[in-house]
Amino acid sequence: MSNTQILRRLLAFMRPLRSVMLLSVSARTIKLTMQAALIALAAAGVARFVAEPGSAAITGIALGLVACAFALGLSNYVETYTGHYVAFRLLAMLRNEFYDRMEPLAPAGTAALRSGDAVSRVMNDCERIEPFYAHTIAPVITSFFVPAILLAFLGHWYSMTYVWTLLPFMLVMVIVLPVVTALSGGRGSETWRHAQGEVSAFLTDSLQGIRDTVAFGHGERRRRQAWDIGVRLKKGQDALMRADAVQRGVTECVVAAAAVAVLWVSWDLYLAGIIEPLRDIPVVVAIAITGFNAAQGLNNVVGDFQVSIVSARRLFALMDQKPTVTDLVSRSPPLADASIALRNVSFTYGDKGSGAQVVLRNISFEVAAGRHVALVGTSGAGKSTVANLLLRFWDANEGQVLVGGRSVRDYTLEALRGHIGVVSQRNYTFNTTIRENILMGRPGATGAQVDEAVRRAHLKGWIDSLPQGLDTQVGEMGGRISGGQRQRIAIARALLKDAPILVLDEATSSLDVESEREVNAAIRELSTGRTTLTIAHRLSTVLNADEILVLEHGGIVERGRHADLLARGGVYARIFALQRDEVDTHAAAASPSPA
């Protein structure tokens, strides 16, 4: 996306508040004009006092100074308030739109996104866009408009010679110098913003993984990586600072040269009898210098403008991604029953033409309403992919995925996912209270409904032992509670949702034996009366399933009940034997040795 396209998009985003921005520009125009008037009147007052100490005109000049000062203060307040009002309202709107655009991308479009970089984009990049609205638009417009007003005043009341003298210097200030500054600092601003995103992502990874970093003695390498990112950040900052230093130095030279030129032509105008030195020259010089102050506003915002454009490009790059799946209907049919079916489904993550591995190959199975079917197999067999297709995180490349006898594409995404409760291996626990985490299942649930979900999830005894009960904070990523407690909170969440279809995706795979026993008790309570699809690596969790499907290399190689599959001596029996040997080995290792 080009800078011009980004600029147009930022301006279009401002459309609902353009009247407020117009007020801000008008207030800034008045403010800068009053600044010029204030200095010019002060110079005129001093000159008149020196020439005629008792002149009555001095009283009028003093009253004019008071009026200008009042107008200056009022316009400065209006400009500041309206400019920041527009900026902060638009930033809130931009963040909301960012979230609205990101949510449909998950999980397919966000799988490769580093969370620290995403946070940097939505927070830091949004903040860097704020100066565009608050400190760029009004200064850019007034940097052309106010100098034109002041030059017109000088030409009308004094001499057009001043206009032709100052105009080249003004053009250098408002056209040449901003272009030079932009070219010299443009690459630095992009390097700087990208490096800031890397810093945020790196710090997020470092803080979340600090235990492993310390445990494995990885600290020195992480420090070197942080230093390298800091070097890239400094390079971008250096380029921006060099451009700013050049701009400020050239500005001072241009203003000084313009002042000398004004004094030079003033001498000729005095000799021609057009002006009076003591009365007119101080006023002309004062107006000329304040005119350059107004023009200098454009140069002062070049750096902020460049950073805003780079930040907007980073933000829009995420927002403009196309969701992998979208609603194909505007209304959903009622759910006829809680059955699940896959018919000749094949699926590949990514582009099939890029040599990507096929995950599912022409698989078919059905789960009747109220029945319990398990998918088992080794890691990478495609088990979790079935859940992803059922929830329409991705769409199957071939075949049909059915819920309630209808294609999942016949439902809106919200309705489809409302029919399905999920308890996975990595349920996210938000950094808030136990109550708020459970209420994700049904935000409007009553206290009694939450208590019932807690009881059925086998959480009541533990929660009653906590001083703050349900209002206990769980910490970032649930760091203050155990894995088993996190899983049972997820089960309580699913109980509260009360969806007719339940997907258990490796719900106990990362738990110890005791925690697994407690979670399994809660799962039995959760799955009662529901259509249940269990995805498991541990076969101990699927022994009582109505049917077990064994996946290998993306296809169903066996199906049946536990005893039947063991009797066949196939893939299922081999996996079961390996897991039983593993359990026996761990038990032997844990038992005390004989004295």
Same domain assignment for residues 92 and 176: yes
Q: What angle do CA 384, 553, 346 make, to 5 degrees?
A: 65
Task: Please list the pLDDT of the chain residue by residue as tens digits (595 residues).
Answer: 777 888 888 888 888 888 999 999 999 999 988 988 888 888 877 777 766 666 666 777 788 888 889 999 999 999 989 988 888 888 888 888 877 877 776 666 555 555 556 666 666 777 778 788 888 888 888 888 888 888 898 888 888 998 899 889 888 888 887 777 767 655 555 566 566 667 766 776 676 676 666 666 667 777 787 787 777 777 767 776 777 777 778 788 888 888 889 888 888 888 888 877 777 888 888 888 888 877 777 766 777 777 788 778 878 877 787 877 888 888 989 998 999 999 999 998 766 555 567 789 899 999 999 899 999 887 777 788 888 899 898 889 899 999 999 999 999 988 998 898 888 877 778 888 889 989 988 888 898 988 888 888 888 888 889 888 899 888 877 778 887 788 888 888 888 888 899 888 877 666 666 666 777 777 777 778 889 898 887 777 788 889 999 988 888 899 999 889 988 888 888 888 887 755 444 444 434 444 3
Do residues 263 and 367 both lie within one domain? no
| H helix or E strand, kind and range, residue 556 | strand 555-560
Residue 258 maps to which CATH number?
1.20.1560.10
Is 364 found in the same domain as 295? Answer: no
CA dihedral 454, 456, 458, 460 (to 10 degrees): 40
Beta sheet of 340-348, edge-to-edge order: 358-367, 340-348, 398-403, 406-407
Query: In whole angstroms, what is the distance from residue 14 CA to residue 24 CA?
Result: 13
Q: What is the DSSP string of 306-332?
A: HHHHHHHHHHHHHHTPPPSS--S-SSP
Largest CA distance in the chain: 121
**Residue 404: what pLDDT?**
92
8 A C-beta contact, residue 492 and residue 455:
no
Q: State whether 354 and 276 are in the same domain.
A: no
The answer to whether 562 and 550 have CB atoms below 8 angstroms apart is no
Which tokens hold the place of 206? 């470092």
Q: Which amino acid is present at 4?
A: T
pLDDT of residue 185: 55
Q: Are residues 248 and 345 in the same domain?
A: no
Residues 359 and 251 in one domain: no
pLDDT for 344? 93
Residue 459 falls inside a structural domain:
no
Contact yes or no for 546/374 (Cβ under 8 A): no
Q: Which residues pair with 364 in a beta bridge?
A: none
Looking up tokens 């008037």, which residue turns up? Answer: 37
Asked whether residue 588 is domain-assigned, the answer is no
Q: Name every residue whose Cβ is closer than 8 Å to that of residue 360 and which is 6 or more positions away in sequence.
A: 345, 346, 347, 382, 385, 386, 389, 396, 554, 555
Return the CATH number at 400. 3.40.50.300
Domain-embedded: residue 413: yes
Tell me the C-alpha distance between 67 and 206, whole Å. 58
The count of residues in the chain is 595
Handedness of CA 475, 478, 480, 485 (dihedral sign): positive
> Which residue range forms the structural domain that includes residue 120?
3-319
266 found inside a domain: yes
**In 3D, which of 348, 379, 340, 390 has the Cα closest to residue 506?**
379
Considering the domain boundaries, does residue 326 fall inside one? no
Supply the Cα-derived Rg of the chain in whole angstroms.
35
Q: How many domains is the chain partitioned into structurally?
A: 2
Q: Are residues 282 and 361 in the same domain?
A: no
Alpha helices in 158-301 (DSSP H): 160-171, 177-208, 210-215, 219-271, 277-300
pLDDT at 196: 64
User: Does residue 134 sit within a domain?
Assistant: yes
Question: Both 216 and 363 in a single domain?
Answer: no
Mark whether 41 and 99 lie in a shared domain: yes
Residue 519: exposed, middle, or buried by beta-carbon count in 10 A (0-12, 13-18, 19+)?
buried
Dihedral, CA of residue 108, residue 112, residue 116 and residue 120, to nearest 10: -70
| pLDDT of res. 251 | 80
Last residue of a domain, one of 271, 293, 319: 319
Any domain includes 559:
yes
Token pair 């004019």 is at which residue? 64
- The answer for 353, left when phi > 0, alpha when psi is -120 to 50, beta otherwise, is alpha
Contact (Cβ atoms closer than 8 angstroms) between residue 147 and residue 170? yes
Residue 228 in any domain: the answer is: yes
Residues 14 and 122 in one domain: yes
Q: Give the pairing type, strands 531-536 and 555-560.
A: unpaired
The CA distances from residue 470 to 119, 149, 242, 484, in Å, are 29, 66, 56, 16
Q: Based on the fold, state whether residues 85 and 194 are members of the same structural domain.
A: yes
Residues 486 and 508: beta-carbon distance below 8 Å: no
**217 lies in the same domain as 285:** yes
